[in-house]
Amino acid sequence: KKDIRMSRIVVKPPIIHTPAFKEFSIGGDELRLKIEGLGITIPCGVFDSVYYYTNPEGWASLLVDLVCKSGLYKAERFDCDNYALKAMEVCSERFRLNAFGIALGNTPLGYHAFNIGFDGVGFFLFEPNEGFNFSGVFGLGDNGYLPDKVII
C-alpha cells in the first residue's frame, strides 16, 4: 500500500473488502425509457451512455455497505438529499455500479430524497439513513414512497 502524503498528514487508504457479485450493463437510453415508463421524470436527463448494475442477489450483498449512520444527520446540512447522494457516490466508487440514483418524491413524512436502483428485473427503492422510519430496501410504492423524479 502506498501512503498519500499531504504536508505533515499521512493518509493511509482504507482496506475495504468488496463482495463478489455479477455485473451487467444497460444502455442509457434504455434505462431512461424504463424509468419514464414508470411515470417518473429525469429532469437532468441520463448522465451516462452505459449503466452498470447487478442482479437482486448481488444487490443483497452490497446494499449493507450503502447504509449511512443516522448520527450524520444535521438539519439542512446533512439530511435526506445528502444521505442519498452519499449512498449513490459510495455505490459508484466502491462497486463501480451507476444504475443506482437519487429519487425524489412523496413519502408519509413529506417530500423526501432516497435512492432508486435497477436490478435487471425492475427497480427497487433504498432508504440509506439507518435511523429513518423505513431504512433499507423495498419496492416502488411500498412504505408510501412515491418517486416522481430521478437523478441518475
The answer to whether residue 2 scores a pLDDT higher than 70 is no
Q: How far is CA 64 from CA 40, 85, 87, 91, in A?
A: 26, 16, 10, 11
Contacts of 93 (CB under 8 A, 6+ apart): none
pLDDT tens across 24-65, in order? Answer: 999 999 999 999 999 999 999 999 999 999 999 999 999 999
Q: What is the pLDDT of residue 80?
A: 78
Q: Which of 129, 127, 58 is nearest to 96 (CA)?
A: 58
For 71-135, list the strands marked E by DSSP. Answer: 100-107, 110-118, 123-127
pLDDT tens across 107-147, in order? Answer: 998 999 999 999 999 999 999 998 888 889 999 999 999 99
What is the arithmetic mean of pLDDT over 2-6? Answer: 58
What is the arithmetic mean of pLDDT over 10-26? Answer: 81
What is the arithmetic mean of pLDDT over 70-80? Answer: 66
What is the arithmetic mean of pLDDT over 74-96? Answer: 86
